[in-house]
Amino acid sequence: MNQQQHDRLRSQFPALAQEVNGHPLVYLDNAATTQKPQAVLDAINHYYRADNANVHRAAHALSDRATRAFEDARETVARFINAPRSHEVIWTRGTTEAINLVAQSWGVSELRAGDEVVLSTLEHHANIVPWQLVAQRTGAVIRVIPLDERGNLDMAAYLAMLGPRTRLVSVAHVSNALGTVNPVEQIVAAAKAVGAMTLIDGAQAVVHLEVDVQAIGCDFYAFSGHKLYGPTGIGVLWGRTALLERMPPWQAGGEMIDRVSFSGTTFNSLPFKFEAGTPHIAGAIGLAAAIDFVMEQDRGLLASYEAVLTDYLVAGLRQVPGLHLVGEPRQRAGAVSFLLADIHPQDAATLLDMQGIALRVGHHCAMPLMESLGIGGTMRASLACYNNRDDVDALLAALHKLSDFF
Ligand code: PMP
């Protein structure tokens, strides 16, 4: 991608064109949430200005338009992840709610004492705690795939862990803390071979990789809109029809029912069985606009642009005296974690913020990972498609200054 093309892409994100503390904003906290392109802002604005109505109760024109846009958004998501059927796309508040849905519905109804749920050391808390709650209720046991010293999953240990008791393997596609891209096809194939279900947490993946749920072969795939240039409060659970049909509803109310009487209630068909209450209509429409934005790009070109910029960042970080990279995975997307000599990450982040540089410090909602690394947290720079060499250079210059100063 040439400079002109990239400048054009970047200029679509109005939030980037601001100063923070007297410096141009350098936004490197994309693994936490991404900025939004104008097309997403316009789609949300248009919905509220022109089409605002409740969906699926179409007795008037606005409701008709809102319903159409909302259901078109579902189709857009299905195309984006190559889901075979759009009714397999369930709207949720985000990845967290999507995983909780599977845990509370499939997990509570299917897991028995002694059944095993396999997670990995690098999971976000959103893919740990829901399973702990289910394990407490059902007596299921959580097994944890260890990492090698570079931050890759130890695949030999994983394969050795699988057996007749394995009921579910639930792992991140991409680590939010280390940037590790996990070999999900291989992980899923091995799980399938022992008859286990698979859930992939795609929160960090969909923005960097072209995700095809059929090629991965998983049973469930979860992601959040806001990490994909879309709004907060909207996300997706994709699941296989046959599985979703067997699963009981997990939240109850309007929309998810077929008939209600005090002698009993029957439930709506997919996807509505899992969508109780008025959904985040504007969120779904905004997410579809974000996906359209992504799909309009040459994704191969974007991926290679991001890979080159990530390499440039990693190479530059290696040159900062006293800087130590945390995790050097075989394949990386998005996030780079590091520590700088004895400087506390929080102090460093405050000094960087004074120069308009936004990144994240702490445990990144992956406390078990930090514990396994023997550290309390890291500094994390995470890239998105709109970042450029100027952003990386600003961070590197500030880190050199910090390193000299301390
Ligand atoms: N999993 C991973 C890998 C994540 O990075 C995140 C967000 N940091 C989540 C799950 C949770 O996503 P959300 O807060 O949008 O539900």
Tokens (6 digits) for 269:
């068909």
pLDDT at 342: 86
Length of the chain: 406
Q: ipTM score here?
A: 0.99
pTM of the model as a whole: 0.98
| Catalytic residue flag (residue 385) | no
Task: Map 283-329 to HEC letters.
Answer: HHHHHHHHHHHHHHCCHHHHHHHHHHHHHHHHHHHHCCCCEEEECCC
Task: List Cβ neighbours of 43 (8 Å cut-off, separation of 6 or more).
Answer: 285, 286, 288, 289
CA distance 394 to 24: 10
Q: Which atom of ligand 1 is nearest to the CA of 96?
A: 16
- In the reported structure, the alpha carbon of residue 369 is separated from the centroid of ligand 1 by a whole-number distance in angstroms of 15
**Ligand 1, residues 33, 96, 337, 360: which to mutate, most atoms within 8 A of Cβ?**
96
The residue nearest atom 8 of ligand 1, judged by CA position, is: 32
How many angstroms separate the CA atoms of 218 and 8, rounded?
36
Helix or strand run (H / E) with residue 221: strand 220-224
Q: Give the separation between CA 1 and CA 76, rounded to whole angstroms.
A: 26
Distance of CA 204 from the midpoint of ligand 1 (Å): 7
DSSP 8-class letter at 151: S
The helix (H) or strand (E) run that includes residue 198 is: strand 197-201
Ligand 1 atom, smallest distance to 97 CA:
16
Asked whether the bond before 271 is cis by omega within 30 degrees of 0, the reply is yes
What integer pLDDT is reported at residue 141 of this predicted model? 98
Distance CA 195, CA 180 (A): 26
Angle between helix axes 61-81 and 281-296 (nearest 10 degrees) is 40
Nearest one of 139, 116, 142, 137 to 127, comparing CA atoms = 142
| Spatial CB neighbours of 74, under 8 Å, sequence gap ≥ 6 | 86, 89, 91, 271, 284
pLDDT of residue 248: 96
Ligand 1, residues at Cβ distance < 6 Å: 94-96, 124, 126-127, 172, 176, 201, 203-204, 224, 365
Residue of 20, 58, 307, 365 marked catalytic: 365
Residue (of 214, 107, 243) closest to 167 by Cα position: 107
- Whether residue 310 contacts residue 383, with contact meaning beta carbons closer than 8 Å, is answered with yes
Strand partners, 239: 220
Question: How many A from CA of 261 to the centre of ligand 1?
Answer: 38
Separation of alpha carbons 290 and 296, rounded Å: 10
* 32 close to 360: Cβ distance less than 8 angstroms: yes
CA of 95 to the centre of ligand 1 (A): 6
Pairs from 65-74 (Cβ < 8 Å, separation ≥ 24): 66/281, 69/281, 69/285, 69/288, 70/279, 70/281, 70/284, 70/285, 72/288, 73/284, 73/285, 73/287, 73/288, 74/271, 74/284
Residue 357 DSSP class: E
Give pLDDT tens digits along the chain (406 positions): 899 999 999 999 999 999 999 999 999 999 999 999 999 999 999 999 999 999 997 789 999 999 999 999 999 999 999 999 999 999 999 999 999 999 999 999 999 999 999 999 999 999 999 999 999 999 999 999 999 999 999 999 999 999 999 999 999 999 999 999 999 999 999 999 999 999 999 999 999 999 999 999 999 999 999 999 999 999 999 999 999 999 999 999 988 999 999 999 999 999 999 999 999 999 999 999 999 999 999 999 999 999 999 999 999 999 999 999 999 999 999 999 999 988 999 999 999 999 999 999 999 999 999 999 999 999 999 999 999 999 999 999 999 999 988 7
With left for phi above 0 and alpha for psi between -120 and 50, is residue 353 left, alpha or beta?
alpha
